[in-house]
Structure 1
Amino acid sequence: MAAISKSSRAVIVSLLLVSLLVFNLVEADEKVNTNPGPEQSSLLKKIDCGAACSARCRLSSRPHLCKRACGTCCQRCSCVPPGTAGNQEACPCYASLTTHGGRRKCP
C-alpha cells in the first residue's frame, strides 16, 4: 500500500469536514423551510405586541417596566391575556414563563 503524504491526508480530511458541514446546513434548511401543519400554524400567528401590552399595562404603577416584560413574553408566546391583570388561563404560555428566581415573569 502506497504511503499517503501528510498534505494529501489534510486535503482529504478537509473535504470530509466540508461535506459534513454542507450536509448539516442542508438538513437544517429543510427543517426550517417545511410547511407547518394545521396545529402549528395557529401557534405561529403574530399579534401586535405593542398594542396588546399597552392595553395590559395601562393601569400599572410602573408602565415602562410592565411593557418591557410583557413585550418579551408576547414575543415568545404570541399571546397576551385580555384585561389589565389576571386572565392567565387565556394564555398558558404567557402564564408559565418565570424569572430565574421562580417568580412569574409576565405581568
Structure 2
Amino acid sequence: MVDVLAEINGNLGAIGYGLAAIGPGIGVGLIFAAYINSTARQPESAGLTRTYLFMGMAVVEALTLIAFVVPFIHS
C-alpha cells in the first residue's frame, strides 16, 4: 500500500510562467534604473537614451511573451 503525501493537479505551466516572469521583471527594473541614472548624470542625452530604453524594453517584453506561450505549446 502506497501513501500519497501530496498530489499535484492542474497545469504546471502556470508555475513555470510565474518563475519565468521573475527574470524579465528584474530586467525591466535594471533598464529603467540605468535610464534614470544616465539622464540624471547627463540630462541632454535623455532623447538618445530614451531610444535605448524602449529598445531594451521591447527585447525584455518579448522574452516575457515567449515564456507565456511555451506552457501552452507543451500542454
Question: TM-score over 0.5 for the alignment?
Answer: no
Q: What TM-score do the two structures reach when normalised by structure 1? A: 0.27
Q: What TM-score do the two structures reach when normalised by structure 2? A: 0.37
Q: Which has the larger radius of gyration?
A: 1
Greater share of helix:
2
Highest relative contact order (Cα 8 Å, sep 6+), 1 or 2?
Answer: 2
